[in-house]
Structures are given as structure tokens and as C-alpha cells.
């Protein structure tokens, strides 16, 4: 059974592999150049909790701006964060910069899973994926798609997250010594397009003869997920402060640590769990509420009221903190995090 699983899956992958800009054709030799592990690592970091469709344009943009890890390491933090804006989970961007500089200093990426795990931002999954895909090392690569495939294949019915140890152990038994990178990507593709969360397409699956979940008649029941916890609500205000008849807006850079750390943003009131929020504007003046933004984070939902003020000499934001006056016409180039880009759109639309 074990040998048939890896053989059947690789044979399926040779025909049905997705054509992605960070992949080699199935079965092809790994490129013998330093740019290859960089491309693999960059794509895997971007793909964490993000769809392939969303990542493709960002991947292309980063390779255009910084075609090598050395080029990325030499880039200014603000430039990288601005290029990342809109992709979300901004701690990944900060770790991307840190990791690029560590790799550049050591002269290249390490090739083993254990050494890769020591790099900033590389957890078990990313280290295993880079080891297998970039360097051909045998490594057990388990993302959410692989987790689902393996749980069904072996009918692992322990609820998550407790099932993860058993899922990884089972994945280890079917990972071949050769073509481990192709095998990992084949499992990902199978989970993405065949062994989907709902209505899995079992008749098209190359592993259907070996799948215990299919034999049970309820493959979609697995893996068993814990009950969802209620997502807390947060409330706050963002402040759109302009001058020169609305042609320039005051932008700040958020602290390096915390939510949206290091990103360029509108000033805000810090957010709170209370519905009324603190909502205290940073300056005196005739503030006007122009709308609100609703935004979902992994840990909370946020409703952010957008308030506007035309700055004068007596209420200049330069009096209360560091920032920059940014042309409103070029707001798309500011690299605002998605939350604040939404707030800016509302303020601009009102005029």
C-alpha cells in the first residue's frame, strides 16, 4: 500500500501538476543556481495562509524588484513592506527581511531541514518545504491541504489539533526517498483540487483505492476540526488629516512590533474592545466622520470609524508626532496596509 500511494500520486502529478511560476516541471532536474532556493523560499513564505491567486502578482513584483536574496537583503525595510502591502499577515514581511539578511551574510541558504528551521520566520512546514523542493532532501511537508489528504487516507479521526502528530507520522510513512519535493507538491495539488474540504472528488483521486476515508463513505468528515471560538469585536477610529486643500494627507509608520508592525498607516486611536472606543483624535479641530471600515483579522473583527480634518497651523500633526505628508493623488504608492487603504478610499470618495 505504502509504495503504491507514492507511485500513484507521482504518476498523477506528472500529468496534472499545476503550472506555477515558482515550480519546475515534474521530474525535472533542480536548477543549479542560487536563485532557485530563493524563489522556493519566497513563494512558500508568501503562500502561508494566502491563496495562490493572491500570491502570483506579488511573487512577480518581488522578483522584478529583488531578483536575488542578496538584493532583497540590501533593500530598505520601508520599500519591502510597501511592496508587501495588501498581502496581509505582515509579520511575514518583517521576517522575510530578517531572513534574507541572515542568508546573505552566510553566503546562501542552508540545505538541511534542521538548519533551515533556524532561520527567521521558518517553522516546521516552511523548512521542510524548502529542503524538499529547493534541495531535493527527503522531508515531510505538511500544510493544511496535506493534513486533509493524509487524515482521510488513513482515516485519522482524532480531532485537530491533537491529530497533527499522527498525521505527520502517517505522512512520513508515504514520503519517498526520491522526488520528495514533487511528492510534497503533489499532495498539495491533490488537496487543493481533488481532496477538497467539501464534496471531495473521490472518483478522480489517484489514491481512491487506498483511501480509508473514502471506504468509510464519509471522507468529508475528516479531519475533525474543533468547534470554532467566537471572534471578538474591536472598535476604533482612523484619522484622515489633510492640508493644502486636501491634496496631502498625514501618514505615520506603525511601531515595529504589534499589529501591522512597521507598516505605513493613518493615525488611529489604538482600537479597543469597547463599542464606543476611545476615539480621541490626536488634534483639536472640526472633525467629521465620513464612514467606517469593517476588517477581519485572524484573532478579531475590527470596525474602524474614519474621521477627517483639514489641518491648519494651530492643529498640525507635526506638533504631536513623526510622520510624512503624502500626496493624496499618489496614495496607492504609499504601501498602506489593507485596513488603512480601505479607510483612505472612503475618505477620498467623500472628497
Q: What is the CATH number of the domain that holds 197?
A: 1.10.1670.10
Question: Which is catalytic among the residues 44, 147, 248, 305?
Answer: 44
Q: Based on the structure, what is the number of domains in the chain?
A: 3
**Do residue 55 and residue 196 come from a single domain?**
no
Give, rounded to a whole angstrom, the gap between the first and last alpha carbons of the chain: 66
- Confirm whether 63 is domain-assigned: yes
What CATH number is attached to the domain comprising 325? 3.90.79.10
Range of the domain at 106: 31-135
Q: Which 3 state secondary structure label does DSSP give 336?
A: strand
CA atoms within 13 A on the CB side of 4: 8
Q: What is the CA radius of gyration of the chain?
A: 24
**Do residue 47 and residue 109 come from a single domain?**
yes
**Do residue 204 and residue 274 come from a single domain?**
no
Catalytic residue list contains 44 = yes
- Confirm whether 160 is domain-assigned: yes
**Do residue 219 and residue 264 come from a single domain?**
no
Q: For 89-112, b where at least 16 C-beta lie within 10 A, e where not — what string?
A: ebebbbbbbebbbbbbeeeebbee
Report which secondary-structure segment, H or E, holds 116.
helix 113-116
Q: Model's pTM, two decimal places?
A: 0.82
Burial class (CB in 10 A: 0-12, 13-18, 19+), 200: buried
What CATH number is attached to the domain comprising 37? 1.10.340.30
- Confirm whether 198 is domain-assigned: yes
CA atoms within 13 A on the CB side of 184: 29
Dist CA 175 CA 171 (whole Å) = 6
- Confirm whether 339 is domain-assigned: yes
**Do residue 271 and residue 313 come from a single domain?**
yes
Asked if 46 and 59 touch (Cβ cutoff 8 Å), the reply is: yes
Dihedral sign, Cα of residue 57, residue 60, residue 65, residue 71: positive
Among 101, 135, 169, which residue terminates a domain? 135
- Confirm whether 297 is domain-assigned: yes
Among 194, 227, 260, which residue terminates a domain? 227
Per-residue pLDDT 10s for the chain (351 aa) are 677 899 999 999 999 999 999 999 998 888 888 899 999 999 999 999 899 999 999 999 999 999 999 999 999 998 999 899 888 888 899 999 999 999 999 999 999 999 999 999 999 999 999 999 999 999 999 999 999 999 999 999 999 999 999 999 999 999 999 999 999 999 999 999 999 999 999 999 999 999 999 999 999 999 999 888 888 888 889 999 999 888 999 999 888 777 777 888 899 888 765 555 556 788 888 899 999 999 888 778 889 999 999 988 777 888 777 889 999 999 988 889 888 999 999 999 987
The DSSP symbol for 239 reads E
**Do residue 292 and residue 346 come from a single domain?**
yes
- Confirm whether 202 is domain-assigned: yes
Dist CA 262 CA 96 (whole Å) = 13
Among 79, 101, 135, which residue terminates a domain? 135
Asked if 50 and 89 touch (Cβ cutoff 8 Å), the reply is: yes
Asked if 304 and 238 touch (Cβ cutoff 8 Å), the reply is: yes
**Do residue 219 and residue 259 come from a single domain?**
no
**Do residue 243 and residue 337 come from a single domain?**
yes
Q: Which 3 state secondary structure label does DSSP give 278?
A: coil
**Mean pLDDT over each residue of the chain, to the nearest integer:** 91
Burial class (CB in 10 A: 0-12, 13-18, 19+), 52: middle
**Do residue 319 and residue 243 come from a single domain?**
yes
**Do residue 345 and residue 304 come from a single domain?**
yes
Question: pLDDT tens digits for 101-132?
Answer: 999 999 999 999 999 999 999 999 999 999 99
Amino acid at each position: 500500500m505504502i509504495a503504491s500511494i507514492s507511485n500513484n500520486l507521482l504518476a498523477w502529478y506528472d500529468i496534472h501538476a499545476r503550472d506555477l511560476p515558482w515550480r519546475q516541471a515534474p521530474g525535472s532536474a533542480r536548477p543549479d543556481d542560487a536563485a532557485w532556493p530563493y524563489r522556493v523560499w519566497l513563494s512558500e513564505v508568501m503562500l502561508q495562509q494566502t491563496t495562490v491567486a493572491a500570491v502570483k502578482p506579488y511573487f512577480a513584483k518581488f522578483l522584478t524588484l529583488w531578483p536575488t536574496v542578496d538584493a532583497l537583503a540590501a533593500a530598505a525595510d520601508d520599500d519591502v513592506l510597501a511592496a508587501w502591502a495588501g498581502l496581509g499577515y505582515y509579520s511575514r514581511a518583517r521576517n522575510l527581511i530578517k531572513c534574507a539578511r541572515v542568508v546573505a551574510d552566510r553566503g546562501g541558504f542552508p540545505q538541511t531541514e534542521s538548519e533551515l528551521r533556524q532561520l527567521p520566520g521558518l517553522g516546521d512546514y516552511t523548512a521542510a518545504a524548502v529542503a524538499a523542493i529547493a534541495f531535493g532532501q527527503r522531508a515531510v511537508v505538511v500544510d493544511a491541504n496535506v493534513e486533509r489528504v493524509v487524515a482521510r487516507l488513513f482515516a485519522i479521526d482524532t480531532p485537530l489539533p491533537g491529530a497533527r502528530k499522527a498525521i505527520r507520522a502517517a505522512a512520513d510513512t508515504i514520503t519517498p526517498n526520491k522526488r520528495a519535493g514533487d511528492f510534497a507538491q503533489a499532495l498539495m495539488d491533490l488537496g487543493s483540487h481533488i481532496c477538497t474540504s467539501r464534496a471531495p472528488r473521490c472518483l478522480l483521486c489517484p489514491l481512491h483505492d487506498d483511501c480509508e476515508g473514502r471506504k468509510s463513505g464519509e471522507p468529508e468528515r475528516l479531519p475533525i476540526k474543533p468547534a470554532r471560538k467566537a471572534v471578538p469585536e474591536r472598535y476604533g477610529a482612523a484619522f484622515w488629516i489633510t492640508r493644502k486643500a486636501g491634496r496631502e494627507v498625514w501618514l505615520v509608520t506603525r511601531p515595529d512590533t504589534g499589529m501591522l508592525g512597521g507598516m505605513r498607516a493613518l493615525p488611529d486611536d489604538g482600537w479597543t474592545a469597547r463599542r464606543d472606543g476611545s476615539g480621541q483624535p490626536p488634534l483639536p479641530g472640526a472633525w467629521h466622520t465620513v464612514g467606517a471600515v469593517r476588517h477581519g483579522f485572524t484573532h478579531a473583527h475590527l470596525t474602524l470609524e474614519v474621521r477627517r480634518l483639514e489641518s491648519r497651523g494651530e492643529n498640525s500633526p507635526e506638533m504631536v508626532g513623526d510622520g510624512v505628508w503624502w500626496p493624496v493623488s499618489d496614495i496607492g504608492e504609499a504601501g498602506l496596509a489593507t485596513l488603512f487603504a480601505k479607510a483612505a478610499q472612503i475618505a477620498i470618495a467623500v472628497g
